[in-house]
Amino acid sequence: DLKGFIFDLDGVITGTAKFHGQAWHQLADELGVTWTESLANGLKGVSRMDSLEMILKAGGKENDYTEAEKVAYATKKNDNYLKLISNMTPADVFPGVKEFLDDLLAKGYVISLASASKNAPTILKHIGLSDYFTKIVDPATLSKGKPDPEIYTRGAEILNLPPEACAGVEDAAAGVAAINGAHETSIGIGDANELSAADIIFSETSALTLANIEAQMAK
């Protein structure tokens, strides 16, 4: 039986996936790399430096820059991203998410956060959910990012639960792969084709309820 839920942040709890996409798109334009939907989807859930590498690779430019130049580009993207998130408020929590978290906690489930974003604590503060997530995997301590399972394995460890007792909630294919690799139940939020590897898929967060999850798991 499930006892814990491990949440991704960007694109699951709030709409920051869109802002990451906008900021990377802007940088890709500057680098002369063609922005495509498949590149945009492939970047979801992927760490900052790995994302930059994927963009450079998509443009055949992976050998064109020094490490220092890459760090400068990643910093520039992040500065743009920080501007995009600066006006976020509790009204930006996706529909049904707060209700789902309240229901989980009221029923004795435990929750943790498995976001690759170093900005996650800042965003939680903006949207008023810092008190909900006292257990956060620090992405700076990971040896590998999503799709590697490490972040979701750690998300269960900090809950003191075996992976089988945990479900992970993700909007990205890389994140679903990480959950599956950690042997947890994967819940995808978004497009069923993009997230076809997930155990359970909901098109929107408003469908994220224990009743709906139980109904899907019974199938």
- Partner from Mg ion, ligand G6P, none contacting 178, C-beta within 5 to 8 A by type: none
What's the chain's length in residues?
219
Tell me which of 8, 64, 138, 148 is the catalytic residue.
8
Distance (Å) of CA 196 to CA 68, 172, 173, 187: 38, 11, 8, 10
The rounded distance, in Å, linking the Cα atoms of 180 and 189 is 15
Contact 205, 96 (CB under 8 A): yes
Residue 20 makes contact with ligand G6P by CB under 6 A? yes
Binding-site member from 52, 56, 88, 116 for ligand G6P (CB under 6 A): 116
Q: Which residue's CB is nearer to ligand G6P, number 115 or number 186? A: 115
Binding-site member from 6, 12, 13, 17 for ligand G6P (CB under 6 A): 17
Q: How far is the CB of 176 from ligand G6P (least distance, A)?
A: 13
Secondary structure of residue 143 in the 3-state scheme = coil
Q: Provide the mask over 151-180, with x wherever binding to Mg ion is found by CB under 5 A and - wherever it is not.
A: --------------------xx--------
Residue 14 makes contact with ligand G6P by CB under 6 A? no
Secondary structure of residue 33 in the 3-state scheme = coil
Q: Which residue's CB is nearer to ligand G6P, number 78 or number 206? A: 78
Per-position DSSP letters for 55-108, written without gaps between them: HHHHTT-TTSS-HHHHHHHHHHHHHHHHHHHTT--GGGBPTTHHHHHHHHHHTT
Q: Provide the mask over 100-139, with x wherever binding to Mg ion is found by CB under 5 A and - wherever it is not.
A: ----------------------------------------
Beta bridge partners of 14: 10, 93
Binding-site member from 14, 119, 153, 180 for ligand G6P (CB under 6 A): 119
Q: In the numeric block, which tokens belong to residue 134? A: 């006292």
- Residues known to be catalytic: 8, 10
Q: Which residues of the shown chain bind ligand G6P in the complex (CB under 6 A)?
A: 10, 17, 20, 43-48, 51, 78, 115-119
